Amino acid sequence: MKENSLRERLLDTAGRLFYEQGYQQTGINQIIAEAGIARGSFYYHFSSKSGLLVAYLDRFVNNWIVGADIFLAEIIDPKARIAGLIRYRIANQKKNGFNGCALVKANAGLEAVDGELRKHIGELKQQMRDYVAAVISRSGHQKILSDEALTDMVVLLADGALVGTAIYHHTEDLEKAVELITALV
């Protein structure tokens, strides 16, 4: 079971560095140095740097969904859970350093070099969207907008606000998004 903890340590360190510095700016040398792990062990667990990136992104989305379940479990009113999706992102940004969505950041840092990866990121993004759609469909919101239109609204406002977060390093835009959404549910 040691092999597992070492792999996790690599994912933790690399994930943190990818998110803070960007994928291209983060070298294998820095990852293994900060994780305190030998070079050979890295290539024992991952075939390449891009393999590590994919594993990191997969785990990110997984953790995001698990974390959302936990965060939303404390919100009783199903309608309030919709704005809770944005509040969850505010909490994550405050914890992890205001660099926006990890998926979006990875995509922007690699664009057009690797079409395969972009496709994969699209599938992961879709998983997050499906989660939002499920929360909305169970919310019993007033039908000012249809379920689909409200899902679009929430996803687009969230992504837009996270762009602002990444540029300005604050959560003002996300808080504006909460207000705009609250008026519509």
User: Measured from the CB atom, is 38 or 167 closer to a copy of itself?
Assistant: 167
- Residue 111 interacting with DNA (CB under 7 A): no
Rounded to whole angstroms, the Cα distance separating 9 from 48 reads 16
- Residue 21 interacting with DNA (CB under 7 A): no
- Residue 37 interacting with DNA (CB under 7 A): yes
Binding region for a copy of itself (CB under 8 A): 20-22, 24-25, 97, 99-101, 103-105, 107-113, 118, 121-122, 125, 145, 149, 152-153, 155-161, 163-164, 166-169, 173, 176-177, 179-180
User: Measured from the CB atom, is 73 or 156 closer to a copy of itself?
Assistant: 156
Binding partner at 79 among a copy of itself, DNA, none, C-beta below 5 to 8 Å by kind: none
CB atoms within 10 A of CB 24: 11
* Residue corresponding to tokens 């900060």: 34
Rounded to whole angstroms, the Cα distance separating 97 from 84 reads 20
Two structure tokens written together for 155? 């996803």
Binding partner at 36 among a copy of itself, DNA, none, C-beta below 5 to 8 Å by kind: DNA
Q: Sketch the per residue contact string, 38 through 67, with DNA: x for CB under 7 A, - otherwise.
A: xxxx-xxx--xxx-----------------
User: Measured from the CB atom, is 75 or 155 closer to a copy of itself?
Assistant: 155
CA 153 to chain CA centroid, Å, is 18
* Residue corresponding to tokens 């510095």: 21
Two structure tokens written together for 124? 């992961």
146-154 CB contacts, 8 Å cutoff, 24+ apart: 150/82, 150/184, 150/185, 153/181, 153/184, 154/82, 154/85, 154/86, 154/181
For binding to DNA (CB under 7 A), which residues are involved? 1-3, 5-7, 26-30, 36-41, 43-45, 48-50
